[in-house]
Amino acid sequence: MPAAQEAAAGHDHLTEAYADAAVHAPIAPVALRDERFSYRLDVVLDGLEVRLPR
């Protein structure tokens, strides 16, 4: 979040908090997005498989 970093630039406590949150983030946002997309795609494909005749 570059905008958050820029907004916190003049405030030491916010800069430190932002840096700390970035270091201790449980999962990278891109990896989380990819994981969620994969899960949702599986749900859609499973639903289609159930509904389409063989």
**What pLDDT was estimated at residue 1?**
58
Residue 20 to residue 28: CA distance in whole angstroms: 14
Residue 31 to residue 16: CA distance in whole angstroms: 24
**What pLDDT was estimated at residue 45?**
96
**What pLDDT was estimated at residue 22?**
72
- Please state the pTM of the whole predicted model: 0.48
Q: What is the pLDDT of residues 1-53, one digit of tens each?
A: 578 778 878 888 888 887 787 777 777 788 889 999 999 999 999 999 999 98
Residue 8 to residue 14: CA distance in whole angstroms: 5
**What pLDDT was estimated at residue 3?**
81
**What pLDDT was estimated at residue 15?**
84
Residue 35 to residue 23: CA distance in whole angstroms: 20
